[in-house]
Structure 1
Amino acid sequence: MPEPHARSTGPTRRQILLTGAAAAGTALGSELLDAGPAAAADTSSTAASAAVDLTRPTSPFPHVWERVVSGDWAKQALRRDYQDQLFDCHDELGFESLRFHGALNTSMSTYSPTVNGRPRNPAFSNDDYSFFNIDQIYDALVDRGMHPFVELSSMPASLQASAPPFSLMLYDFNQMEPKDYALWGKVVGDFARHMVDRYGLREVRKWPFEVWNEPNLSVFFNGDQQAYFRLYQYAAEAIKNVDASLRVGGPATSAGQLSFGPPRSPGVRYYREFMQWATAKDVPVDFGSAHGYESDTGTGSQGPASFFKQNRADTPSGLPLYISETNVTSDIGNPILDRSDAAASFLRTITETVGVVDALAYWSFTDIYEEMGQADKPFHGGFGLRNIHGVKKPAYRLLQILHTVGEHRVPLTLAGAPDTVGGLAVTGSVRGGVDVLLYNHALATGDGSAPVPARPATLTVTLRGVRAGARARVRRIDEDHTNPYREWVELGSPEYPTRRQLHDIEKASEVEDRPLELKSDRGAGVARFTLTLPPEGVAAVHVG
């Protein structure tokens, strides 16, 4: 069993995609051979203080993480269990839209004039399209009050310029350029027109049309940067030809990652060059989109927020910036994705990107996920907010808490706190009072080395402007609270848990709401509480 908050330094998901399974296996083998004894945990605690002044003006705190969530690929979205989990997330977490790969994949039959190189049976359709599968997904979303966040990918086999040289993913993401860019534009335009015909312009105006996925990685796009610009322009102009009010954008870059094959810029620079090109050529762009994971190479002092702030600086004035993928790590199989690290990391990213991004999509909402094959262990370091059985992980519980807080941020200042500690204070919830959300999270280093682990931090929070008679309650997410992963381990890590075991694991994921001592200065409107934040912990305190 890994140490409670050990960070994996093995090959990341993107390293596997870029270098192949054999190279990744070699790297992992070297890591295991070179591993020394685990360092003893540092249990000493640092002391710090924070101040929240409820008498000062507030600033907006929009729930940008609720605007879109990501979820693997299109065929998965036809599954009942996938949809059941998604709509629970919509109801409990407030997610407004869903993004997934592969709406145009060959296996979706969306554009299929040929099947395995042969003409399709004319009895099947009046044209070269079959929108039935994608309609089933979009119908389900719209019927439940959600919207598609449309990722226009991947290249249908009938449109590819040549056969893909490799595929490291289980599903059929086709990274090739089109053999005919004008035909590619027609396919995209016909897709958009069908959506308007089926759902109405008023609805489809709410859908962002994002052109492709991570074109700066050759595993996702075989062409060079100029090829992507051309791919984008044909798609964007086709969508605008359907109706000028439809929204199109990109380039959905992967932050900080280099690639092999044709030369291309790394993520942040690629994004900047795309915006410069689109502006110079007057190509339609209604939003910018980008991805960033904390484990990505080259993260700055604020982790993925460092990428997103640069993306914002490079986004033309007035355009929204949508982060359509983010998480604590892109290293699938890393246990921190199943534990409180993911919650603490996401709260830190939210805190540091207030006013920077207009959407912040967690990748992904579920471990029903087949990019590298479908896992069957309940906890396997999957990207999901929920595991394959629907058990709600710590990051899910964080978003449940955040869904209940208001949209007015109150200044929170720290003194003497380590750089792993931070948080925010928010008012405006239906419960009244103030919510103080705190994290203790050690950022990834950005160079692949293990970060210095966070230490326990004792924090005294003073609140000014509190009503007389206010009380405090606390909800915790850490090693000892809201930890279904540990319950699973203590049950013997069963690959196929019994129903009773699943009940116990789900129960261990619940958040406890407990009283917290609040000391008040009578008549002064000042109150304070003290708590200790464990490493990779989150504490949500409501005072009201």
Structure 2
Amino acid sequence: MIHVPAEPQGAFPDAWRYCVGTGRLDLALRHDYQESLRLLQRDIGFRYLRGHGLFSDGMGIHRPYEWQGARHVHHSFTYADQVIDALLDAGIRPFLELGFMPSGLASGDLTVFWWRGNVTPPADSKEWAALVRATLTHLIDRYGVDEVRTWPIEVWNEPNLPMFWLDTDEAAYHRLYEITAHTVKEVDAGLQVGGPAISPGADEWLTGFAEFAERRKPPVDFVSRHAYASGPAQHVPFGSHQTLAPAGDLLDQFAAPRRVLKDTSLAGLPVHITEFNSSYCPDNLIHDTALNAAYLAPVVTGGHAHADSFSYWTFSDVFEEAGVPTAFFHGGFGLLTHRQVRKPTYHLYAFLARSGEELLARGDDHLVTRHRDGRVAVLAWAPVDASGETPGPDGHTLRLSVPVAGAEAFVRRSSVDEERGNAYTAWRHMGSPRSPRPAQLDMLYDAAEPARSHARVPVTGGRAELTLTLARHEVTLVELTPVEDETPPWWDERRLLGGNPAP
């Protein structure tokens, strides 16, 4: 029996809710994307959204033209305004990633993704600076300086990888960062700028970034890094398979920037993990499973000890880096499928959104929080064998003594596992239809509903005892509310059919 203390350890930080990822930004022009975002914000309520492609051709901001024999550049914000309006209307702010390179400003033809984001340095640094300046000035004019000052600004994405930055030229990235950061501060000194947004396995770039910052003194307001726990991809047609490190490896990655930078001039800056997930492939079916939710539960409940934020990559399968998806469930990064079917990991986040402000206890398989009105929330998860050598235990039992006020508590339990609250399993049972028909979609929406139960338990000495048995890869939320019994004294359910109860 785990004795949960009545006195809180402190506040439960919501670093897990600070930011979430998305596909390229112009996807926000789509109706289904906006519907997904509204559902996400209703159930979870993230504060920021980060995505690629602000300066890519699909957004149409950088528009060079010829006039009277001379080259000029027009900056157009038609799509940018619509995208950011849609985000703010949904109750979420942009975490601005400055990239990729507009084709009219690029120094080369190297691109990444199906939608061909250019990943070469600018052919003209002054023109790049003018693009950054014009964009931020426009945003301030439209949304106000106080608002835009709250939007973090990240310079580029994973420049340590050749697919994202020509020749992984570190010195060239530092030049880009320096030009960009100074331009940001010239627009307004209160704007927040940071980087280097590196992928896992390249922490030497953090050291190099710190040395560059010490030498050149560019503005740096935060440090960013990405975290994934999967091994090399084993490709099949329209899919990938990968090994998986233990979940603790992700927490180690979250902790890396503070560890690496502790004796540098960047020590003490906020650390943002601007992408994380189990797999880095957008076609790995693990993302669709209950295993993914149970695997990530200890990460999202404990990551605040290592980073100021950690952004799940991504909120929706409206995402086209590897091309238009070929099947309804295809291993996409999203918490939601196309058409807003909720995955088990979505429910992990939705359960967390119902946690309390006070942290009472956290263990390897549970998190206990309390709301200010006395309600207690217990989030629990079954252990995952990330090696794949075993399927994981059929049942996992957790016994808790929980502090609750009153004489009795109303208990509500919501669960997802391999069968319940799991539309992916239902879809597999259907025969994996690539384009589900309307009736099948309705079944998938129903299958995605968590299993729910309720009960009433006694409270003795200010405590309620819970015994929770979790199925394989289950994530469950148990909410305990003190009962204020308002049953009238004449009510007797034994007389529902009009008879007299036995004495």
**Amino acid paired to 1:391:** V
The 5 Å alignment of 1:195-214 reads 195-214=139-158
Answer whether contact 2:63 2:74 (CA < 8 A) is retained: yes
Map 1:63-212; keep pairs closer than 5 Å.
63-114=14-65, 119=66, 127-164=73-110, 167=111, 169-212=113-156
**What root-mean-square deviation, in Å, do the aligned CA atoms of Structure 1 and Structure 2 show?**
2.5
Q: Take 1:515 and 1:330, find their aligned partners in 2: how far apart are those partners?
A: 38
> Deviation of residue 238 (structure 1)?
0.3
| Among 281, 300, 309, the residue aligned to 1:331 | 281
Q: State how far apart, in whole Å, the 1-side matches of 2:38 and 2:316 are.
A: 11
Residue 305 of structure 1 aligns with which residue?
Answer: 251
Aligned residue for 1:218? 162
Check conservation: 2:283, 2:332, Cα contact below 8 A: yes
After TM superposition, give the deviation of residue 253 of structure 1 in Å: 0.9
Secondary structure, counterpart of 2:46 in structure 1: coil
* In structure 2, distance between residues paired with 1:121 and 1:329: 52
What is aligned with 2:392? 454
> CA shift at 1:510, angstroms?
0.7
After superposition, the Cα gap between the structure-2 partners of 1:50 and 1:454, relative to the gap in structure 1 and judged at 3 Å, is farther
Instruction: Say whether the 8 Å CA contact 1:475–1:540 is kept in structure 2.
Output: yes
Cα distance in 2 for partners of 1:171, 1:186 equals 25
1:319 is aligned to: 269
Pairwise CA distance, 1:106: 2.2
Q: Is the 8 A contact 1:391 1:506 kept in 2?
A: yes
1:52 aligns with 2:4: yes
1:249 aligns with 2:194: yes
The structure with higher relative contact order (CA 8 Å, sep 6+) is 1
Question: What is the DSSP-based 3-state SS (H/G/I as helix, E as strand, rest coil) of the residue aligned with 1:495?
Answer: coil
Change (3 A) 1:313 1:516: farther
1:423 equivalent in structure 2: 366
Provide the C-alpha distance between the structure 2 equivalents of 1:180 and 1:300, rounded to a whole number of angstroms. Answer: 45
Structure 1 299/481 Cα, relative in aligned 2: closer, same or farther at 3 Å? closer
- SS at 1:353's partner residue? helix
Q: For residues 285 and 315 of structure 2, what CA distance do their matches in structure 1 show? A: 16
Equivalent residue for 1:466?
Answer: 404
- Using the TM superposition, give the Cα deviation of residue 539 of structure 1 relative to its aligned residue in structure 2, in angstroms: 1.6
Alpha-carbon offset, residue 50 of structure 1? 3.2
Q: Corresponding residue for 2:292? A: 342
Does the alignment pair 1:496 with 2:442? no
Q: What is the CA–CA distance in structure 2 between the aligned matches of 1:443 and 1:307, rounded to whole Å?
A: 19
Tell me how far apart the structure 2 counterparts of residues 459 and 381 of structure 1 sit (CA, whole Å).
Answer: 30
Conserved? CA contact 1:363–1:383, under 8 Å: yes
Please state how far the C-alpha of 1:427 moved relative to its aligned partner: 1.0
Cα distance in 1 for partners of 2:223, 2:389 equals 31
TM superposition shift of 1:518? 4.8
1: distance between equivalents of 2:351 and 2:80?
A: 33
The whole-number CA distance in structure 2 between the counterparts of 1:62 and 1:72 is 27
| Corresponding position: 1:281 with 2:226 | no
Which residue of the other structure, out of 162, 185, 209, is the alignment partner of 1:240?
Answer: 185
CA contact (8 A) 1:340 1:477 kept: yes
- Matched letter for residue 288 of structure 1: V
How far does residue 451 in structure 1 lie from its aligned partner after superposition?
5.6
Deviation at 1:353, TM superposition (A): 1.3
Q: 1:121 to 1:505 in 2, by over 3 A?
A: farther
Q: 1:128 is paired with a residue of what secondary structure?
A: strand
Q: What corresponds to 2:312 in structure 1?
A: 362
Work out the CA distance in 2 between the residues paired with 1:307 and 1:443: 19
Report the equivalent of 1:385.
335
Does the 8 Å CA contact 2:317/2:332 hold for their aligned counterparts? yes
| Residue 444 (structure 1) shift | 4.2
What SS class does the counterpart of residue 113 from structure 1 fall into?
strand
Offset at 1:216?
Answer: 0.8
* 1:295 CA drift (Å): 1.4
**Is contact 1:50–1:459 with CA below 8 Å preserved after alignment?**
no
**TM-score, normalising length: structure 2:** 0.86
For structure 2, list consecutive stretches of 5 or more residues without a partner in the other structure.
233-243, 482-503
Secondary structure of the equivalent of 1:289?
strand
> SS at the partner of 2:340?
coil
Distance in 1 separating the partners of 2:124 and 2:101: 11
Question: For the Cα contact (< 8 Å) 1:52–1:461, is it kept in 2?
Answer: no
**Are the structure 2 counterparts of residues 404 and 464 from structure 1 closer, same or farther at C-alpha, using a change threshold of 3 Å?**
closer
Please report how far the alpha carbon of residue 154 of structure 1 lies from its aligned counterpart in structure 2 after TM superposition.
0.4
Partner of 1:375: 325
1:287: Cα distance to partner? 1.2
CA distance in 1, matches of 2:276, 2:251: 10
Alpha-carbon deviation of 1:234? 0.6
- Offset at residue 425 of structure 1 (A): 0.9
Change beyond 3 A, Cα 1:182–1:126:
closer
Which amino acid is the alignment partner of residue 434 of structure 1? V
Q: Which residue of 2 aligns with 1:529?
A: 466
TM superposition shift of 1:453: 4.0
Q: 1:442 to 1:242 in 2, by over 3 A?
A: same
Q: 1:285: how far off?
A: 0.9
> 388-397 vs 307-316, which deviates more?
307-316
**3-state SS of 2:62 partner:** coil
Q: What amino acid is the match of 1:111?
A: H
C-alpha separation in 2, matches of 1:251 and 1:443: 33
Cα pair 2:354 2:377 within 8 Å, conserved: no
State whether structure 2 residue 174 is matched by structure 1 residue 229: yes
Aligned to 1:3: none
Is the Cα contact below 8 Å between 1:217 and 1:254 reproduced in 2?
yes
Amino acid at match of 1:62: P
Query: Which range moved further: 202-211 or 400-409?
Result: 400-409
**CA offsets, 1:270-308, max 9 Å, x none?**
224313422443211111111111215796771211101
Equivalent in the alignment of 2:487: none
State yes or no: 1:479 paired with 2:415. Answer: no
User: 1 CA distance for matches of 2:210 and 2:247?
Assistant: 25
Tell me, what secondary structure is at the counterpart of 1:406? coil
Distance in 1 between the 2:351 and 2:27 partners? 28
Give the 3-state SS of the residue equivalent to 1:470 in structure 2.
strand
CA shift at 1:189, angstroms? 1.8
Match of 1:263 in 2: none
Q: How far apart are residue 464 of structure 1 and its match?
A: 4.8
Kept after mapping to 1: 8 A contact 2:247/2:299: no
| Equivalent pair of 1:455/1:535 in contact (CA under 8 Å) | yes
The question of whether the paired residues in 1 share the 8 Å contact of 2:247 and 2:298 is answered with no
Opposite residue 369 of structure 1, the aligned amino acid is: F
**Structure 1: segments with no counterpart, 5+ residues:** 1-48, 257-265, 414-420
**Conserved? CA contact 1:236–1:248, under 8 Å:** yes
Alpha-carbon shift at residue 214 of structure 1 (Å): 0.7
Structure exhibiting the larger radius of gyration computed from Cα positions: 2
Structure-2 change in CA distance of 1:301 and 1:328 (3 Å): closer
Letter in 2 for 1:293: Y
Aligned to 2:490: none
Which whole-Å CA distance do the structure 1 matches of 2:80 and 2:155 have between them?
Answer: 17
Aligned to 1:292: 227
In the alignment, which residue of structure 1 is the partner of 2:484? none
Equivalences, count: 463
- Given that 1:52 and 1:463 are in contact with CA atoms closer than 8 Å, whether structure 2 keeps it comes out as yes
Aligned match of 2:382: 440
Whole-Å separation in 1 of the counterparts to 2:402 and 2:351: 23
